[in-house]
A and B are shown apart, each in its own frame.
Chain A
């Protein structure tokens, strides 16, 4: 698989959220607005990229039996770095994403790519894989966040479209489940008929 394919698969063929059904917790938890979804997506992409690179570089030095704990330490470090940098330079976003920033460390996508790809491939491929998966994940979050924000607050990326309340359900927990359910159903339908 060449690098362009490595990158592209993260968007559609193997999209982390819509196809692999991973990373559900943040997907449902932070998508009350499109901006929060984007922020979380990019933070996760950073962690994915850096840990893919690191793990791809050190993979031959880590004995097989301890690879999972080693990967976890690497991933957790980058998550902490993202957490600290956001607290210092993007305090509003940091507050909105809250608990879900440290939870990036248990986002199955990150450990999943480390285990499935970075530990078996070179650095350059791992970069493309990480970026593709991360951006694909971000795209999914922005889509869900955009739908929920549009229907729930009648705004998009913070720009109020109509001065009224939307269907509030969509920015509440049930709305997250329902919106994602319909979105995946739509995508499944498109994939089957494509």
Chain B
């Protein structure tokens, strides 16, 4: 039951993009088409889940026992960078068409603050390993949900006549603001 609360909280109440402000760069950059959004969500889910598990284990079984928790930032980002490299290599071998589709976006996952953010959050929220995995997957899904809804809205936005200054990112930000407001309606449910 507790896990249901974690899932609901991560996807809706504290949505990683619309409430926690993590993952904005890919959110604004990859959301022009729904199909790329879905692909990106898949890649993010995979990397986020594995990254959370590996960083969690390193923190609990290496950093804490050796009293070097100040190396958290360095070790986490190196693990994430290495994981993304691995995903790229594996994807190239296992599914070239998917690799082609995600193209530029894969290396960008490394600097996706959502990945590092979630890895850090599971420690500060004091989850156990299973809770952390649930949290990671749920957040990735929340990211995907926001991304896909946003992409759908943006596909429509391209058809509107906007003042020159508003075109592109400013209008996207305003729409994101409205979407964030909508998601605020979920607060207090958990």
Chain A positions within 8 Å of B, measured between CB atoms, are 21-22, 24-26, 28-29, 68-69, 72-73, 76-77, 79-80, 83-84, 99, 102-103, 105-108, 111, 169, 172-178, 180-182, 184-189, 192
Contacts and interface: CB of A to CB of B under 8 A. Distances in A.
Contacts of B176: 177, 181
Interface of B: 18-25, 28, 70-74, 76-78, 81, 110-113, 116-117, 120-121, 124, 163-167, 169-174, 176-178, 180-181, 184
30 contacts: A25-B24, A76-B73, A76-B74, A76-B77, A77-B74, A79-B73, A83-B73, A99-B121, A102-B72, A102-B73, A102-B116, A103-B120, A105-B77, A169-B181, A172-B184, A173-B21, A174-B177, A174-B178, A176-B21, A176-B177, A178-B174, A178-B177, A181-B173, A181-B177, A182-B174, A184-B169, A184-B173, A185-B163, A189-B165, A192-B165
Nearest to A74: B74
Nearest to B20: A29
B21 A186 contact: no
Contact of B73 (A29, A68, A105, A188): A105
A22 B22 CA distance: 13
Given A25-B113, A28-B24, A99-B117, A72 B177 contact: no
B94 to A, nearest CB: 23
Contact of A103 (B19, B113, B171): B113
A105 B165 contact: no
A80 B117 contact: no
Nearest to B80: A106
> Chain B binding site: helix, strand, loop or mixed by DSSP?
helix
Contacts of B116: 102-103, 105-106
A55 to B, nearest CB: 16
A25 B22 contact: yes
The residue in B21, B78, B116 that gathers the most chain A C-beta atoms within 10 A of its C-beta is B21
Given A22-B25, A80-B71, A177 B177 contact: yes
A11 B144 CA distance: 34
Nearest to B180: A174
Contacts of A108: 25, 111
B13 to A, nearest CB: 12
The residue in B73, B116, B178, B181 that gathers the most chain A C-beta atoms within 10 A of its C-beta is B73
The residue in B25, B124, B172, B173 that gathers the most chain A C-beta atoms within 10 A of its C-beta is B173
A28 B169 CA distance: 14
Contact of A21 (B28, B177, B178, B181): B28
B115 to A, nearest CB: 8
Nearest to A112: B111
B140 to A, nearest CB: 16
The residue in A69, A188, A189 that gathers the most chain B C-beta atoms within 10 A of its C-beta is A188
A108 B23 CA distance: 12
Nearest to B114: A25
B78 A73 contact: yes
Contacts of A173: 18-19, 21, 180, 184
A88 to B, nearest CB: 12
A59 B184 CA distance: 47
10 A-B pairs closest in CB distance = A181-B173, A177-B177, A189-B165, A185-B170, A29-B21, A178-B177, A24-B24, A188-B165, A174-B181, A174-B180
